[in-house]
Amino acid sequence: MTFGGHKGSALSTMVELLAGALINDFTSQESMDFDDKTGSSPMGGELIIAFDPAKFMGGDLESGRDKAERLFRAITYQGARLPSMRRFTNRKLAIANGITISKQLYDDILALDV
């Protein structure tokens, strides 16, 4: 699914190629076809790309971080969510309030001989 006009379409195509075709894994469409409308999580396509900001920014990490934080604030100010926001929110809630698990899971955990 494309987003953001021509730039979003190009970005979507790049991700499809990197996390699908170029590592000989499913593309999004192939994953949906494989899923056969069961609603499962996407199949395959795991690819991690890591960048070292210092290599790109010539050591001026603070300036780049500040720009990124301004961008993130602008995005969230509009009501959009950033990736991982829900996870971090849920983690804070779980730390503050604990989590509820079933008796069976609790017993299974206690039975682990670790």
Tens of pLDDT, residue by residue over 37-70, are 787 777 776 778 888 888 888 888 899 899 999 9
Both 32 and 65 in one domain: the answer is no
Q: How many domains does the chain have?
A: 2
Output the CA–CA distances (angstroms, integers) from residue 66 to 60, 79, 82, 88, in the order listed. Answer: 10, 20, 16, 21
Q: What spatial distance separates the first Cα and last Cα of the chain, rounded to whole Å?
A: 45
Domain of residue 75, residue span: 60-114
**Ranges of H-type helices in the chain:** 5-19, 28-35, 53-57, 61-77, 85-97, 103-111
Both 67 and 104 in one domain: the answer is yes
109 belongs to a structural domain: yes
Both 108 and 78 in one domain: the answer is yes
- Has this prediction a pTM greater than 0.85? no
Tens of pLDDT, residue by residue over 3-49, are 566 677 888 888 889 888 888 888 888 888 888 778 777 777 677 88
What is the predicted pLDDT for the residue at 26?
87
